[in-house]
Structure 1
Amino acid sequence: MSDLLIRKAAPGDLPAILAMLAEDTIPADRETDPADPRYRAAFDAIAADPNQLLVAAEIDGRVVGTLQLSFLPGLSFRGAWRGQIEAVRIASDLRGRRYGEQLIAWAVARCRDRDCFLVQLTSSNARTDAHRFYARLGWTQSHTGFKLKLKEPR
């Protein structure tokens, strides 16, 4: 197994990251046009925020994984910070090789480095394979989440 290099994403990684997001079928057709300037605007906003980190995982120069890590302040637990992991993806042709495990372990370590009280993530109810993956890594299903869609993306 080749070494997985995990690093802060660069603008040039955006096409590969968007391609992995587009592979996702839950929900279908979420990512459509990689040339849409809103993706670059979102990338720039994430890169400018010290409490956001978009990462690229690469093997031999190929971006094969990604996730977004957010650091959230809160008043609960005496003002403790939390890490929030979102948009975890490994290229479909490389799943099952423990790269996702390495990517999650890396994110958890960054949360420890930032002295977070806990790290959390959400996963669609339809992602039963992902749920088994997280459980195997020691995560517990502890909450029920809700979403309220306010509008369609522009």
Structure 2
Amino acid sequence: MLFRKAARQDVPSIVQLLANDKLGQLRENYTDPVPDAYFTAFDHINADPNQELIVVENTEKELIGTLQLSFIQYLTYRGGVRAQIEAVRIREDVRGEGIGQKMIEWAIARARERKAHVIQLTTDKQRPDALRFYEKLGFNASHEGMKLHF
């Protein structure tokens, strides 16, 4: 497997991964061509040194996974940096092959490289399998997360 920074030409494949589950179908708009809003978002992410949109390729150079890693500077923890994992997706036909574990292990190693003091993520309560997966990898549900959608 190859982990690399996403390129603009990866955007349609990434959006397809994001839309390929029950919740993603409700919030994403995977069409051909992909709406311009996704390319605009990619450009903003790509220009920000504290954002890393990552894709994973198999040995045939097919895109099989993606995640976004954000580095957030804080005053707390003595001016520490917090890493946030978002939008972890694995292509449906390769799920269950250990790719997700390797992706999270990669993200943890990358956060350590960037001197983050903690790495965190959220998962929707409608994804109990994901919750068990993250707990198995050592993540602890230590806080109650809250959101206000606009």
What TM-score comes out, normalization by structure 2 length? 0.94
Q: Which runs of 4+ in 1 moved over 3 A?
A: none
Q: In 2, distance between residues paired with 1:36 and 1:15?
A: 9
RMSD: 1.0
SS of corresponding position for 2:23: coil
Number of corresponding residues: 147
Q: Please, which runs of 5 or more residues in structure 2 have no aligned partner?
A: none
SS where residue 26 of structure 1 aligns?
A: helix
Matched with 2:8 is 11
List per-residue Cα deviations over 1:5-55 (Å, max 9, x = no partner): 110001111111111101021254211144210100000000000000000
Q: Which 10-residue stretch deviates more, 98-107 or 28-37?
A: 28-37
| Counterpart position of 1:29 | 26
2: CA distance between counterparts of 1:139 and 1:29?
A: 27
State the one-letter code of the partner of 2:102.
Q
Q: Equivalent residues in 2 for 1:5-154 (5 A)?
A: 5-26=2-23, 28-34=25-31, 35-59=34-58, 60-150=60-150
Give the TM-score normalised by the residue count of structure 1. 0.92
Please give the secondary structure, in 1, of the residue aligned with 2:115. coil
Which sections of structure 1, spanning at least 5 residues, go unmatched? none
CA distance in 2, matches of 1:6, 1:25: 26
- Asked whether the 8 Å contact 2:45–2:52 carries over to 1, the reply is yes
Amino acid at match of 2:52: L
Q: Which has the higher helix share?
A: 2
Q: Identity across aligned pairs (percent)?
A: 48
Q: Greater relative contact order: 1 or 2 (C-alpha under 8 angstroms, separation 6 or more)?
A: 1
